[in-house]
Amino acid sequence: MSDNDIGQLNLAALKVKDDQPVMKKPLNFALVERPLPPDCLPIDVWLTEGAQDPELMDVVDYLVNVRGVSWDWYNWHWSAAPGFRDRVILPFYHNGLTVGYTGRKIKDGKPKYLTDAQPGYVFNMDAQVRDKQFVIVTEGQFDAIAIDGVAVMHNEPNDTQCLRINALSREVIVVPDRDRAGAKMIAQAVKQGWSVSMPPWEDHVKDVADAVRCYGRLYTLSTILHYRQRGEINLHLLQRKLLNAKE
């Protein structure tokens, strides 16, 4: 057999190998029930029972006056346990079960978040009712709460999170934070065929929560829908805009 024939056979063998389906390890969708921090109750319960703890009042002030959230947007919790007293607790829910939480510090200091999250969890999925035509994907939990969307809790959704979001079977609109890290969210949107929206909000508005606090929920939602884009070229232009953003 000539060298040319051998080369042709090698190329054919490589093509057959490449055409074989790649078997991926099954993704783990299971989420188990987990406890909240000790002495953790809904803030409404604390207030109804007449609790006047100064740190609880600081958390209430943070939610109402700093974050500008509505009391009925989420089931806000507070814990009287050491290490959690200066934090607002956001329980994580899945099919009605509590499967984790995050505790957001209300003052300067580290760690900013104390979080118990299971792999592949997407925040606020239980709020995505059947009649919605789209789902808005954000990075942070407060962003998701502000617009009634979901949060992946970082800037690179993993495969399981993407499958959970795609399983909703509706248009997915990613709204990244206005920083360089937000470019990673757009990269995943390109891969998944999702839309991306970056409305021309004012420079001081860095994320969805800022927009809702500045403009209100209805206007923020309308601008997200109006400025959503699809297509690899369009999304790469948005990504470049974030990569060139000042930190």
State pLDDT tens for residues 136-189.
999 999 999 999 999 999 988 999 999 999 999 999 999 999 888 888 999 999
pLDDT at 88 over 90: yes
- Going by pLDDT thresholds of 50, 70 and 90, the confidence category of residue 244 is confident
* pLDDT tens-place string over residues 46-67: 999 888 899 999 999 999 999 9
The CA–CA distances, whole Å, from 43 to 53, 89, 151 equal 12, 9, 22
Task: Please indicate whether residue 182 or residue 120 has the higher confidence score (pLDDT).
Answer: 120
Cα separation, 247 vs 241, whole angstroms: 13
The DSSP secondary-structure symbol of 123 reads B
Structure tokens at 83: 């290490």
Mean pLDDT lowest for which of 9-13, 83-87, 136-140, 156-160?
9-13
Question: What are 189-207's pLDDT values in tens digits?
Answer: 999 999 999 999 998 999 9
Domains 31-118 and 119-247 alike in fold:
no
Please give the pLDDT value at position 1: 53
Q: What is the pLDDT of residue 51?
A: 80
The chain-wide mean pLDDT, for the chain, equals 88
pLDDT at 14: 47
Cβ neighbours around 230 below 10 Å, total: 14
Predicted pLDDT of residue 21: 42
On the question of pLDDT at 106 being above 70, the answer is yes
The span from the CA of 128 to the CA of 150, in Å, is 8
Element (H or E) spanning 229, and its range?
strand 228-229
> Does domain 119-247 match CATH 3.40.1360.10?
yes
pLDDT for 50 equals 84
In CATH, what is the architecture of 31-118?
A: Alpha-Beta Complex (3.90)
Query: Could you please report the per-residue DSSP string of 130-192?
Result: TT-SEEEEESSHHHHHHHT-EE-SSSS--HHHHHHHHTT-SEEEE---SSTTHHHHHHHHHHH
pLDDT at 9 over 60: no
**Residue 84 · residue 40 · CB < 8 Å:** yes
**Rounded-to-10 torsion of CA 73, 77, 78, 83:** -110
Main-chain dihedrals φ then ψ at residue 165, nearest 5 degrees: -65, -45
Domain boundaries, the chain: 31-118, 119-247
pLDDT at residue 52, rounded to an integer: 84
